[in-house]
Amino acid sequence: MKAAVLREVNKPLEIEDVQCADPGPREVLIRTVAAGVCHSDLHFQNGSYPYPTPAVLGHESAGVVEAVGSMVTYVKPGDHVITCLSAFCGHCEYCLTGHMSLCQEPELQRSQDQPPRLSSGDEAIWQFLNLSSFAEYMLVHEHAIAKIRDDMPLDRAALIGCGVTTGVGAVIHTAGVEPGTTVAVIGCGGVGLSAINGAAIAGAGRIIAIDVLDSKLELAQKFGATDVINAGKVNPIEAVRELTGGGVHYSFEAIGLKQTAEQAFKMIGRGGTATIIGMIPVGTHIELHGPEFLLERKLQGSNMGSNRFRVDMPRFVDFYLQGKLHLDDMISGRIKLEDVNDALAALETGEVARNVIMFE
């Protein structure tokens, strides 16, 4: 099969022929139909988050089941599925207490004494985040997929695999935004737009979108933003405080930078909560003014929207088909696998929400 392989950090991905193993007892072989090019892929491609190489990147995807292992009962060939990088074991402390997105049990991967899921001749290829969706096929553990209804377009479904689940989940699950409250979202890429959309679904009374590109702020209004702030023209902290009379109840940072993480905390009001969604580079430290915590301001992180993805993703599909999730507007372009490096480069400029690789 064709796959986009990362062989060296900060180098273009190489389109190669890669072998995919047969499904083991609890594994599922998926024909990839669509894969979003996410900013997280860029973080690993440029070395912000170290990862072993060679590896096939990609993690935001949807496809059709081709074959299943002998012990798999959840899906059958022909089923439509969304993948999720936060695969769950089902029996660790995190899974049993409802925090499946924090599960990191190694049993979801093949052991070292087993043949690798991906290879090139005699060379083992690392599987990226249990998925590796920049490839024509994916071989994954059955606990890395969610079955969905067949009438959901798979290019839109792929977005639910990461960006939508991360953004909407951070609002609904991690922060627990309440109806009528005020929300600010920093960064209007795929995850930020999803957080804005999630805040609208949650019934937030005022949703403030913050970015430095007017085109993305205009797009944010389609997703539910009631106010927009261009942080390249005004101080976003002062602007938010002025709009809300002292700060928002909830803020969300969806870029992954020290400066914007600190801004997210500074723009919440007394008793407010700032949630960091963006992947802040390894080695970065956030600086905050200690006395502000006496005002019961909170700073927290969110991993993949604190999801319960087998429950959440089918619901998000229903939201889209009911007109509540605006996934059509999130897709900037549909591309071929060979265009993946151009799509990664476009993420550097911040001008796109999502390019989606189509495999058929």
Label the pairing between strands 27-37 and 123-127: unpaired
Q: What is the mean pLDDT of residues 140-151?
A: 97
Cα separation, 317 vs 334, in Å, equals 20
Q: Is the pLDDT confidence value at 352 over 80? A: no
Q: Would you state the pLDDT for residue 36?
A: 96
Residue 30, φ and ψ in degrees, nearest 5? -120, 135
| DSSP states of 44-92 | HHTTSS---SSEE---EEEEEEEEE-TT--S--TT-EEEE-SS---SSS
Beta 268-276 vs 248-253: how paired, if at all?
A: parallel
CA distances from residue 84 to 11, 29, 58, 252 in whole angstroms, order as listed: 26, 14, 11, 22
In which band, very low, low, confident or very high, does the pLDDT at 39 lie, cut at 50, 70 and 90?
Answer: confident
Q: How far is CA 116 from the centre of its chain?
A: 26
71: pLDDT strictly greater than 90: yes
Report whether pLDDT(334) > 90.
Answer: yes
Q: Long-range contacts for 257-260 (Cβ within 8 Å, ≥24 apart)? A: 258/284, 258/285, 258/286, 258/287, 260/186, 260/187
Contact in structure between 291 and 267 (CB atoms under 8 Å): no
CA nearest to 167, candidates 137, 196, 210, 187: 196
Report the pLDDT averaged over residues 87-116.
Answer: 92
If you search the block for the tokens 């992180």, which residue do you land on? Answer: 301
Percent of the chain whose predicted confidence (pLDDT) is above 90: 92
Give every strand in the sheet of 123-127, ordered side by side: 14-17, 2-6, 55-56, 123-127, 118-120, 19-20
Q: What are phi and psi of 163, to 5 degrees?
A: -55, -45
> How much is the average pLDDT of 151-179?
97
In this prediction, residue 347 carries a pLDDT of 87
Please state whether beta strands 331-335 and 298-301 pair in parallel, antiparallel, or not at all (unpaired).
unpaired
Nearest to residue 320, comparing CAs of 191, 159, 102, 96?
A: 159
**Nearest in space to 171 (alpha carbons), one of 21, 358, 316:** 316
pLDDT-derived band at 44, boundaries 50, 70, 90: very high
pLDDT at 186: 98
Amino acid residing at 57: L
Active-site residues, by number, are 38, 40, 43, 59, 162
Position 111 pLDDT exceeds 90: no
The segment(s) of the chain belonging to CATH 3.90.180.10 are: 2-148+327-358
Structure confidence by residue, pLDDT tens digits, 238-287: 999 999 999 999 999 999 999 999 999 999 999 999 999 999 999 999 99
Identify the band that residue 216 occupies on the pLDDT scale cut at 50, 70 and 90: very high
What is the fold of 2-148+327-358?
Answer: Quinone Oxidoreductase; Chain A, domain 1 (3.90.180)
Residue 316 has pLDDT above 90, yes or no: yes
Q: For residue 82, what are its two tokens?
A: 């969304």
Percent of all residues in the chain with a pLDDT value above 70, rounded to a whole number: 100
Cα separation, 165 vs 311, in Å, equals 11
Task: Identify the residue whose tokens are 């969300």.
Answer: 252
Using CA atoms, how far residue 189 sits from 47, 97, 99, in Å, is 21, 31, 26
Residue 52 pLDDT class (50, 70, 90 cuts): very high
pLDDT value of residue 198: 98
Give the span between the Cα atoms of 248 and 12, in whole angstroms: 41
Residue 232 scores a pLDDT above 80 = yes
* Mean pLDDT, range 64-79, rounded to an integer: 98
Indicate the pLDDT class of residue 353, thresholds 50, 70 and 90.
Answer: confident
Topology classification of domain 167-302: Rossmann fold (3.40.50)
How many Å apart are CA 143 and CA 188, to the nearest integer? 30
In this prediction, residue 283 carries a pLDDT of: 92
CATH 3.40.50.720 positions along the chain are 167-302
The answer to whether 227 and 184 have CB atoms below 8 angstroms apart is: no
